[in-house]
Structures are given as C-alpha cells and as structure tokens.
A and B are shown apart, each in its own frame.
Chain A
C-alpha cells in the first residue's frame, strides 16, 4: 500500500518542479525532496480513506466468507454464503428485480432525460420554468419523494381516482401491495426524480457542442433528425460515459426509495439486491450472508462500469 502512495506522490512532485527546471520530462537524477505540504495533502486523505473506507471494505470481503450474527465471533465458512445464494429464491428474485431496475430505470431515465434536454435546450421564453420544474424532484430527498408517492398510491388516492376518471377503474389495485405491480410502482417515482438529473447533465453537454457544427450540417442539408443523430449524439460521448456511470451506480445503490415505499415487500416481490442486503444484515442479523450480497453488488457494478471504460479507452487509443 505504501508503495502506491509514493508512486502517486511522485508525479505530483514532478509537476511542481516543472516551473523551476523547465524540462518537460525530468530524468531520474537521484532522490528528489518532496514538499512536506504535498506529501501531507496526499497522505492525510489516504490515511483517512484507508481507515474509514478501505479497511471496512476489506473487512466486508472477509465477512462474506463467514457466518456472523453480530454477537459471537465470526465463523469461517469459505464460499458457503455464495453457494447458498444459488439455492436462495429470494436472492434470485432480487437479482432479477435489480436487472429489471437497471434496464427500466437506467434506460428510461437516459431516454427521458435526453429527450427533455433536447426539448428544453433552446433558449425560449419560460424555458427556465420548465427546466426548474423537471429539476425540482432532484432536490427532494428520496424519502420525501417516497412519502409523496405513497399518498398518490394509497387506496382511493390520486392514482386510483385518475384511473377511475378515465374509465380504467378495472385496473385499480393496491399498487404497492400487489406483488405484480409493486416494483413498477416504485420505479415510476424513481424515474420522476432521475429524469431531471440526467436532463441537467445532458443540458450541460449540449451547451458544450459547437454551434458551428450545426450550421455546417444545416448548410449541407441535414434534417433535424440527422443533425441529432450525426452531430449531437457523437458530440455527447463524454457526457454519455458520465451518465452511464451515474445510472449504473444509482441503480445498484437504489435503496432508500424502495425501502421507504415497500421495504422490498409484499413478500419480497419488490426486493432489490440492496434492500435484501439490508434486511439480511439488520433484520435477520445474518451479517456474513449480507456481506456476501454486498460483494455481489460490488462485482456487478465493477463489471458493468469496467466493461464500458475498457471499451471507451480502446476507442480512444
């Protein structure tokens, strides 16, 4: 661990020397003195990070290999927790729901956010109001969002009333208490919030696109669709990678909204990996199994994001 610190510290030190030496690539001319201030800037956060992030994370990996109730000493069980998962029907539901969540929540918020950004990118009168309106849900805490939507969904609440008014009364059901609808009923408010967030990211990206490109495309006779397809989308590559990371991470860590709306219920039908991890850890006090679930979530996030990053880097080089 300490060697990585030294390595990380060195380039910083070198660039600090640049002004004096003038050489762009300094050769190794014996040991250089690293400014203690810079060393402190690197080491202090690293130590804090190591104690409060890396060490607990490593412990999490160790706990994933144990059976632990939080009271007695953890008992080593090897990969027993992971083999238990294979035969655990709740784990399978949670995995499936997490995949549904990733596709629906992730996909729809990208499409919705991008669509809204395109609609609202041109400066028109009153456009600020629409942007603000779409962004407002992002400001609310997800727990507040959940409370608002629970009122909408309650029996004879807003959603039921709307369905009945448009003549779809037959579809009315206990939205959050029906295992067939609970998950989707939670995705809607999550999207309600996320679309505004993604929209802002894309709006910022669209602002950075050179207007000259559009003019050139227009002169060449490109239609509005062609301009979007061949100018806007390729220009947004940088934003896309940010959005993708945000979406994947947000999907996998989605917890608060599900927990405050359904607690993964009724009978585990809206369980995500994150809520299942929480309930196994803090309700069933199977901390070893819960740590194993956390490891699975970590690996999933890593796989999705690494996959994308590797492809992105390959294209660049």
Chain B
C-alpha cells in the first residue's frame, strides 16, 4: 500500500510539472506580455536586444548610472536579438507592455508609429537641438511626431588589411574603374579579392545592393523603392545588377558557405582582399589585428549622384502605454546626453559613434575616419531592413543570393523579387 501511495505522490508531482510545462509557452494571439510591465511605483522597464557580452555589460553600466541619478528606477531586461525582433509586435500590442525598448531609427521604427503604438517624444527633442538634421528626420514619424531617440551609429565600408594592400602593391581605390583594377591585381596574386559571408547571414549581400543602388540611382530612389513605391523590375534596378556583375568574378566562392564572422577571419588571415561590412565585425576580431585594419569608402560610380553613406542608427523608443510618461521622457532625455552616450560607447566594442555631436567617440584613426566620412555625406541611409522592414529582408536575401549564384537569370530573379515584395507590402498595408 505504501508503494501505491508513493506512486500516487510521484504521479501527482509529475502532473504538476506537466501543468507547469504547459503554462510556459505563450499563445501567439494572446495579449499577455512576457516582459515585466512597470509597476506604478516609478519603476521603468527597459527591454534590450543588446545581448552580446560586451554590449550587455555596457547596458548594465548605463542603467546603473541612471539609477544613481535619482529618477525612476530602471530595470534592464536583456533578450536575445532574434527573439526580441520576433516578439516586439507582441510586446507593443500587449495590455501591459515594457516601457522603453532598444531599436533602430528610420522606417523600422516608423512602422510601429503608423500603428499608433509609440510614445510621442517631441518634448525630449527640445533638449536635443544640437543633433544633426539627418538624425532629426530619421527620428520623425510619417505623421510628423518625434518617436525615436538616437544614441549611437556605426558605418559600413570596404575594410582591408593595410599590410596586405602594401604587400600586393595596391592603394585604396576611389572610383569604380580603380576598384576593378585593384580587384584584378589582387586576383593575379592568387587571392580572392572580395570577401563575403552569406551562409547564415545572407543579409550581408544587401550591403552591396544598397551601396550600388545609392551610388547609381541615388538615396531618394533607393528609399522609395524600399518603401514599396518603386518596382524591382525597373530598368534602373537592373542597372544595379549589371554593374554588380562586372565584379562578380572577384567574389570569394567560399563566402557562400560561411557567415560573416568567418568571412572576417578570412580577411584578417589574408585569405581575401577586401570585405564590405559594418563596423560590428570588429566585435569578433582580435584586438591586435584591428590595428592593421583600415577601410575605404565604397567607390564612386556616377560623380553626378550626391554621395550617400550607410550609417545605421541605434537608439530607443517607448511604448504609447507607458505608466509614467514623464519618468520615461526623463530617462530618454538622459539617454540623449553626451554623458550617457559616452558611458555606453566606452564600455561597448568601441566602434560605435555617439549620436550626440558633443559625445566622445573612441580616439582611434579608424573611428575618426569613419565619423568624417558620415559627416561629409550628402545623404544617409540606414540599411536594407532598416530602410524597409524586417519582413522585406528575406525577399532580398533570396533574390541577392540567387543572383550571386545565377547572374544570367536576373530578369526572372527581379520578377520573383517584385512578386515576393508585393506580398509583404500587401500584408503590411
């Protein structure tokens, strides 16, 4: 009998566990939020997608510094970037959402403003008069409200090893013709000139599309196309691919198999010549190799087109349903100050540049050069997904990786891309 009793007890325990397990996964359409909403006691929740070790530590420092200033107490909740991205709509539409979120400026933020889910932070911008025009327009919704507080940005460029360029006897090219010549020289040394990493990170190819498009057709055309006001079968878009095809033979064929982190290793090991990438690649690079790293601006193709550069801007926005709008705005105002941005930039990997012009960026030649390039640009773009939406990105990934594989099918690829993009725009409308 005792045996039976014990069995029953273990059975009940098991049942309890089972019940608990079924409670864990949420339901897609439920409006309950997994994040902790703020209590009305002056506590703010900050949902962060900066989950890499360095960035997370930097965020913890930042929050600790604010909590000492005596405003609301901020509670940091770090979520893996991929989960954050898929859950963000659920957070924002829930009844009791987290207050402040890390996110990206531009179209990806505006899409939430269009659904009236974001807090109007126009009053925060009163203290941000020194921010650049580009930052202002990036943070303004299509309805004309400020909905975003930018805190840092980084840049994209064609990175290379100085010692290798010296060894191969090439100098950084400025124009497309010079670029092609450099590719030829490097290839003649038996090295694939252009590195890329598309396995797992196919979105890296979008940098090429973005840059070729803003160099050939200009930033306004690029933005319109990504907003669904253009057509990917447009001959102007095809011209981008015709240009791209001129340098396809110089791409590293192995780049299709590995992610950008390994493409970074390949560049640092001298197995490829150059690599079009954002400065975040430095996170996974050894520090001593970084001293040998330099970059050049994506070559100019048509001098008549105003020069645009990709400078993805990171920052924060807040939910419309925050419990304590004043406390939230106070926190956002603090995040916009040079002091706050310095804390973050100094503790993170060091290639991010503070969005506040008075903020101090890392004192390296590389960062100075990057900052000067962005400040000298006539137009700023963000990146493919940030200028359109995360939903459009997979359509670009499919089209661009297919183009790299089968460039002669370009007409079909563009038609398929347009059809896929149409579906995304229709679903979002």
Indicate if the CB atoms of A177 and B198 lie closer than 8 Å.
yes
Interface class of chain B by DSSP: helix
Interfacial chain B residues near A67, Cβ < 8 Å: 426-427
Closest beta carbon of chain B to A281's beta carbon, Å? 8
Within 8 A of A (CB), among B319-373: none
Within 8 A of A (CB), among B16-41: 18-19, 22-23, 25, 27-29
Answer whether A70 and B90 are a contact pair too, CB < 8 Å, given A174-B257, A266-B401, A286-B427.
yes
Indicate if the CB atoms of A266 and B28 lie closer than 8 Å.
no
Indicate if the CB atoms of A56 and B89 lie closer than 8 Å.
no
| Minimum CB distance partner of A72 in chain B | B115
Kindly specify which of B95-103, B284-292, B386-394 makes contact with the partner chain. B386-394
What are 19 of the A-B contact pairs (CB < 8 Å)? Answer: A59-B28, A59-B29, A69-B391, A69-B427, A70-B90, A153-B257, A155-B257, A174-B253, A174-B256, A177-B199, A177-B256, A263-B202, A265-B202, A266-B256, A267-B405, A282-B86, A283-B390, A285-B390, A286-B391
| Minimum CB distance partner of A156 in chain B | B254
The 7 closest A-B pairs by CB, nearest first: A177-B256, A70-B89, A267-B402, A155-B254, A267-B398, A174-B257, A282-B86
Cβ of A279 within 8 Å of any chain B Cβ, yes or no, is yes
Tell me, in angstroms, the Cα distance from A77 to B401 when the chains sit together.
33
Contact with A along B105-118 (1 / 0, CB 8 A): 00000001001010
Indicate if the CB atoms of A283 and B23 lie closer than 8 Å.
no
Indicate if the CB atoms of A176 and B257 lie closer than 8 Å.
yes
| Minimum CB distance partner of A155 in chain B | B254
Tell me, in angstroms, the Cα distance from A263 to B198 when the chains sit together.
12
Indicate if the CB atoms of A284 and B401 lie closer than 8 Å.
no
Closest beta carbon of chain A to B73's beta carbon, Å? 30
Interfacial chain B residues near A283, Cβ < 8 Å: 390-391, 393-394
Tell me, in angstroms, the Cα distance from A44 to B28 when the chains sit together.
23
Contact with A along B386-418 (1 / 0, CB 8 A): 000011011101110110010000000000100
Tell me, in angstroms, the Cα distance from A282 to B89 when the chains sit together.
10
Answer whether A284 and B394 are a contact pair too, CB < 8 Å, given A70-B89, A71-B115, A289-B427.
yes
Contact with B along A173-198 (1 / 0, CB 8 A): 01111010000000000000000000
| Minimum CB distance partner of B404 in chain A | A266
Tell me, in angstroms, the Cα distance from A90 to B420 when the chains sit together.
10
Indicate if the CB atoms of A265 and B86 lie closer than 8 Å.
no
Q: Which residues of B contact A (CB under 8 A)?
A: 15, 18-19, 22-23, 25, 27-29, 86, 89-90, 92-93, 112, 115, 117, 198-200, 202, 253-254, 256-258, 390-391, 393-395, 397-399, 401-402, 405, 416, 420, 423-424, 426-428
Closest beta carbon of chain B to A47's beta carbon, Å? 10
Tell me, in angstroms, the Cα distance from A109 to B89 when the chains sit together.
40
Question: Which interface residue of B92, B199, B390, B401 has the most chain A CB atoms within 10 A?
Answer: B199
Indicate if the CB atoms of B15 and A285 lie closer than 8 Å.
no
Interfacial chain B residues near A70, Cβ < 8 Å: 89-90, 93
Contact with B along A280-297 (1 / 0, CB 8 A): 001111111100000000
Answer whether A268 and B28 are a contact pair too, CB < 8 Å, given A174-B256, A177-B199.
no
Cβ contact of B405, chosen from A89, A266, A289, cutoff 8 A = A266
Answer whether A284 and B424 are a contact pair too, CB < 8 Å, given A63-B29, A70-B90.
yes
| Minimum CB distance partner of A73 in chain B | B93
Indicate if the CB atoms of A56 and B401 lie closer than 8 Å.
no
Closest beta carbon of chain B to A178's beta carbon, Å? 8
Cβ of A307 within 8 Å of any chain B Cβ, yes or no, is no
Tell me, in angstroms, the Cα distance from A253 to B183 when the chains sit together.
46
Closest beta carbon of chain B to A221's beta carbon, Å? 50
Indicate if the CB atoms of A266 and B394 lie closer than 8 Å.
no
Tell me, in angstroms, the Cα distance from A52 to B27 when the chains sit together.
7
Cβ of A154 within 8 Å of any chain B Cβ, yes or no, is yes
Cβ contact of A285, chosen from B254, B257, B391, cutoff 8 A = B391
Cβ of A308 within 8 Å of any chain B Cβ, yes or no, is no
Contact with B along A233-249 (1 / 0, CB 8 A): 00000000000000000
Indicate if the CB atoms of B27 and A55 lie closer than 8 Å.
yes
Answer whether A154 and B257 are a contact pair too, CB < 8 Å, given A59-B27, A59-B29, A72-B115.
yes
Interfacial chain B residues near A52, Cβ < 8 Å: 22-23, 25, 27
Indicate if the CB atoms of A267 and B257 lie closer than 8 Å.
no
Tell me, in angstroms, the Cα distance from A279 to B423 when the chains sit together.
14
Tell me, in angstroms, the Cα distance from A55 to B22 when the chains sit together.
13
Cβ of A11 within 8 Å of any chain B Cβ, yes or no, is no
Cβ contact of A279, chosen from B253, B257, B394, cutoff 8 A = B394
Indicate if the CB atoms of A71 and B401 lie closer than 8 Å.
no
Within 8 A of B (CB), among A250-289: 263, 265-268, 279, 282-289
Cβ of A48 within 8 Å of any chain B Cβ, yes or no, is yes
Answer whether A285 and B398 are a contact pair too, CB < 8 Å, given A48-B19, A63-B29.
no
Tell me, in angstroms, the Cα distance from A284 to B198 when the chains sit together.
19
| Minimum CB distance partner of A55 in chain B | B27
Cβ of A211 within 8 Å of any chain B Cβ, yes or no, is no
Interfacial chain B residues near A289, Cβ < 8 Å: 427
Cβ of A45 within 8 Å of any chain B Cβ, yes or no, is yes
Closest beta carbon of chain B to A308's beta carbon, Å? 28
Tell me, in angstroms, the Cα distance from A230 to B372 when the chains sit together.
81
Cβ contact of A71, chosen from B117, B200, B399, B402, cutoff 8 A = B117
Closest beta carbon of chain B to A180's beta carbon, Å? 10
Closest beta carbon of chain A to B84's beta carbon, Å? 12
Interfacial chain A residues near B115, Cβ < 8 Å: 71-72
Contact with B along A83-112 (1 / 0, CB 8 A): 010000110000000000000000000000
Tell me, in angstroms, the Cα distance from A282 to B25 when the chains sit together.
16
Tell me, in angstroms, the Cα distance from A175 to B199 when the chains sit together.
11
Tell me, in angstroms, the Cα distance from A84 to B420 when the chains sit together.
12
Indicate if the CB atoms of A45 and B15 lie closer than 8 Å.
yes
Interfacial chain A residues near B420, Cβ < 8 Å: 90
Tell me, in angstroms, the Cα distance from A154 to B200 when the chains sit together.
12
Answer whether A287 and B28 are a contact pair too, CB < 8 Å, given A71-B115, A267-B401.
yes
Contact with B along A25-46 (1 / 0, CB 8 A): 0000000000000000000110
